[in-house]
Amino acid sequence: MLGAKPDRTTGKRRLLLPSNEFVHVEDGLSDAEIMARYGLDELREAPEVRVCTAVYLDGPLAGQTNPYSPTELGEHTSYTTAAVDGRTTHTYELVELPDGDEPGRLRFVSSRVRSSS
């Protein structure tokens, strides 16, 4: 698995080998060059992870914002809150991707309470 972006310090991308070892690879090498150098049968590139702000539109977290890593519309994310007798997990759906300085938007789907007993 090849990292999506080069490291800011080294300018190289991280490559996870089948041995679970990480190596640094020069940015700009072709997939074929990387595969030949490390004896790989295939090479996959990790998706770029963007961290942005998302706002909860409704439900128990309405109006709050949190850091969020959106990938595609319709994906679900969960946020757990603690309570004296257990915890509650709130599930939200990404209904609008972030755009520039505008946050992504999450719509409430459901809550599930888990007791501590």
Q: How confident is the model at residue 35 (pLDDT cuts 50, 70, 90)?
A: very high
Annotated domain spans of the chain: 1-48, 52-115
Question: Degrees (nearest 5) of the Cα angle 69, 70, 73?
Answer: 165
pLDDT above 70 coverage of the chain, percent: 98
pLDDT above 90 coverage of the chain, percent: 54
Lowest-pLDDT range of 15-24, 81-90, 105-114: 81-90
Dihedral-angle region of residue 64 (phi above 0 means left; psi in -120 to 50 means alpha; beta otherwise): beta
Would the pLDDT of 50 be above 90?
no
Q: How confident is the model at residue 117 (pLDDT cuts 50, 70, 90)?
A: low
User: For the chain, what's the residue count?
Assistant: 117
